[in-house]
Amino acid sequence: MAAKKPPIPKKKKDPLLTVPGASEKPYRTIFEHSGVPAIIIEKDSTISLANRTFQELSGYSRREIVGKKKWMEFIAPEDIDKLTKYLTESIKKNRQAAEPYSFGFVDKKKRNHDVVLKVGVIPRTQQFIFSLREITDGERFEDSFGYNNQQMSGVIYNIPDAMFAIDRNGRVIAWNQAIEELTGILAVDILGKGSYEYALPFFGDRRPMIVDLIFASDVEIEEQGYTGIQWTGNSLSAETPVTDLRGRSLIIREMASPIINKSGELAGSIDSITDITVLRQREISLQDSESRYRTIIENTASAIAIIEEDATFSYINPEFEKIIGYVRQEVEGRKKWTDFVAPPDLDRMQEYEHERRAGVEIVPANYEFRFIRFDGEVRNGFLTLIPIPDTGKMVVSLMDITGKIQEEDALQRANKKLNLFNIITRHEILNHLTVVKGFIELSREQIRDPVFLLTSLDKELAAANAIQHLITFTRDYQNIGIQPPAWYSISSTIKSVAAGIRLGSVILSDDTEGVEIYADHLLEKVFFHLLDNAVRYGEKIRTIRFFCEESFEELHVICEDDGIGIPPDAKEKIFNRQFFQNTGLDMYLSREIVSITGMSIRETGTYGTGARFEIRVPKGAYRFTSPH
């Protein structure tokens, strides 16, 4: 007995379309890719199909919706009863379609969307198709007008902004008083006209305006001569230059929105026009002014910056870059001005800034403080803080007064030394004069003793020579501090001094090229005494060498020779006005000269192998002008 063939299963019909065959595919594609959210509802209210746009609006995936959700689950609770009643009554009256209805749509994140619902019945089924349109700002705006053109025109007529509206066919349906005044065209002469009639007062030509471009791309809008394009929801704004019917050159900014009717369809669009000519002229004038002042600031010798309300730099000029040692890209928008203030001065300077911003009248605008450069060097600055009116910004002007402070300190030290030198010299001369007078008195008493007289005369002559030496010494030190300290090239100073000394067979070696030190103008005297004493008292000397050694905190300028050197017990005496081979005053003066700018000098050589003088220069008082 032959086996029975299994029954062939019937093909299940598509829930959306019952029409079989290839004709199903285009309709399914249209449904799936429609820009309007749409769903298919079964008789039991279950959703059997949802297109992509609905999934995007609801926030749910197709798998979460189809066969699992009922349409009521997406309705705001307060709208469910009304909407159910509306659908029941509408479908009874007309099985093919119901009038659009607005309600609150709730998505997966419980956010409410105002939407318009349109319902249709799928023929030969018990299925319904729901299509939704989210209500935009433009639609709400339109609702406030109603749908009568005359009513709309009356509503916008007295609005102070220049406005007009067109229907979907491009005919003018509203033209308010403000646009009458702007264009010179009365509403009665333009209402009902199309073919871009509204463009003639602005462009002298029939052409699209922003009101016609609300669904165009930015490229298409720019091709019409518009700039400054901005989108806010469905609203579009942009600006363009125009020449009106009176021959005036204007710059206008248009803002257009679509008008949606109760059926959720485009009914037209409305355009608001603002004459921004004066505003743009002011901006151009401001830009020109800003450009001029920026050019001045960029090229001024003053260090100028702008700081924001949070103390962050928003601008620094090239001179400011030079002073702090940072480039603009490292500072603007990245660093606060307080980042450069030395910690001991920080609280004081922040208090000054706060009081300047608060407008406290007794607070000075200028402050002395210490600031830190990019390399960690602490320098003295003079800061000016000026608030910019009606902003939270301040103008900062900075002067590096380190040199000025050094000069003032050096001058004070020089004055103290001059006073001391005067006291010492006066005391020394009086002592020697006392010796001279004493021997003169003794000589008068011993007038008949030739041997005693000769001895007395020798003593008197020695005292006179000492007085002469002291007077010569005063000629040198009287100029200390007369001129402010300056930067001197060590190598140039050595060469200048060496030219006035008879070196004989002594070889002079100079390895200080490219190094400068900050010193009193009598610096030459220091190097003169070092060279002259080495040649005079070095005995077996053959070579004198000058060179530099840098440590972490200071620079050593060294004068080294291969002569007899300085005995251990005389190393300090030569600087203390004690006559070691008649060099006491010379080296004493040298020490005083270098100390004016914070330097010091000492002798560290080994007796028998040569002298070694080290001038110790503190950080900030030396610099390199070429690789060293």
Q: What is the 3-state secondary structure (H, E, C) of 432-460?
A: HHHHHHHHHHHHHHCCCCHHHHHHHHHHH
Three-class DSSP labels, 141-205: HHHHHCCCHHHHHHHHHCCCCEEEEEECCCCEEEECHHHHHHHCCCHHHCCCCCCCHHHHHHHCC
Q: Where in the chain is the domain with CATH 3.30.565.10?
A: 486-624
- For residue range 421-432, list pLDDT tens digits in order: 676 667 677 777
Q: What is the pLDDT of residue 153?
A: 54
User: Does 608 have pLDDT greater than 60?
Assistant: yes
Nearby residues of 100 by Cβ (< 8 Å), 6 or more positions away = 116, 117, 118, 262, 263, 264
User: Does 178 have pLDDT greater than 70?
Assistant: yes
Nearby residues of 494 by Cβ (< 8 Å), 6 or more positions away = 508, 510, 512, 527, 531, 546
The sign of the dihedral angle between the CA atoms of 106, 108, 110, 113 is: negative
Question: CA-CA distance, 27 to 236, in Å (whole number)?
Answer: 33
* Site of tokens 């503190």: 618
Burial class for 174, CB neighbours closer than 10 Å (0-12, 13-18, 19+): buried
* Site of tokens 């355009």: 271
557 in Cβ contact with 625 (< 8 Å): no
Q: What is the pLDDT of residue 229?
A: 93
Q: pLDDT band for position 5 (50/70/90)?
A: very low
CATH of domain 486-624: 3.30.565.10
- For residue range 517-555, list pLDDT tens digits in order: 998 888 988 998 899 889 988 889 999 999 999 987 899
Average the pLDDT over each of 275-279, 383-387, 444-448 and give the range with the smallest value. 444-448
User: Does 121 have pLDDT greater than 90?
Assistant: no
Average the pLDDT over each of 52-61, 327-336, 460-469, 607-616 and give the range with the smallest value. 460-469
For the segment 137-142, the average pLDDT, to the nearest whole number, is 44
Q: Does domain 300-399 have CATH number 3.30.450.20?
A: yes
Average the pLDDT over each of 455-464, 466-475, 534-543, 547-556 and give the range with the smallest value. 466-475
Between residues 458 and 532, the one the model is more confident about: 532
User: Does 24 have pLDDT greater than 60?
Assistant: no
- For residue range 26-65, list pLDDT tens digits in order: 667 777 777 789 999 998 889 999 999 899 999 999 999 9
Q: Where in the chain is the domain with CATH 3.30.450.20?
A: 24-135, 140-281, 300-399
**Which fold does the domain 24-135 belong to in CATH?**
Beta-Lactamase (3.30.450)
Q: What is the pLDDT of residue 7?
A: 47
Burial class for 42, CB neighbours closer than 10 Å (0-12, 13-18, 19+): middle
- The end-to-end CA distance of the chain, in Å, is 115
Question: CA-CA distance, 385 to 305, in Å (whole number)?
Answer: 10
Between residues 6 and 348, the one the model is more confident about: 348
> Which amino acid appears at position 305 of this protein?
A
Average the pLDDT over each of 301-310, 583-592, 593-602 and give the range with the smallest value. 583-592
How far CA 168 is from CA of 157, 261, 264, 334, in Å, comes to 20, 11, 13, 53
Q: pLDDT band for position 25 (50/70/90)?
A: low
How far CA 493 is from CA of 26, 373, 421, 523, 590, in Å, comes to 98, 30, 25, 8, 14
Q: pLDDT band for position 420 (50/70/90)?
A: low
- Residue 108's SS3 state is coil
Question: CA-CA distance, 242 to 247, in Å (whole number)?
Answer: 9
* Cβ atoms within 10 Å of 402's Cβ, excluding its own: 18
Query: Which candidate, 315, 296, 396, 238, places its Cα nearest to that of 288?
Result: 296
Q: What is the pLDDT of residue 578?
A: 52
Q: What is the pLDDT of residue 97?
A: 46
**Which fold does the domain 406-477 belong to in CATH?**
Helix Hairpins (1.10.287)
Question: CA-CA distance, 375 to 367, in Å (whole number)?
Answer: 23
- For residue range 490-521, list pLDDT tens digits in order: 999 999 999 888 888 999 999 999 999 998 88
Q: Where in the chain is the domain with CATH 1.10.287?
A: 406-477
User: Does 253 have pLDDT greater than 80?
Assistant: yes
| Mean pLDDT across the chain | 81
Q: What is the pLDDT of residue 584?
A: 52
Q: What is the pLDDT of residue 264?
A: 77
Q: What is the pLDDT of residue 477?
A: 63
Q: pLDDT band for position 622 (50/70/90)?
A: very high
79 in Cβ contact with 103 (< 8 Å): yes
* Cβ atoms within 10 Å of 33's Cβ, excluding its own: 10
Of the candidate CATH numbers 1.10.3720.10, 3.40.50.300, 3.30.450.20, 2.40.50.140, the domain formed by 140-281 belongs to: 3.30.450.20
Between residues 246 and 307, the one the model is more confident about: 307
- For residue range 191-233, list pLDDT tens digits in order: 888 889 999 999 988 999 999 999 889 999 999 999 999 998 8
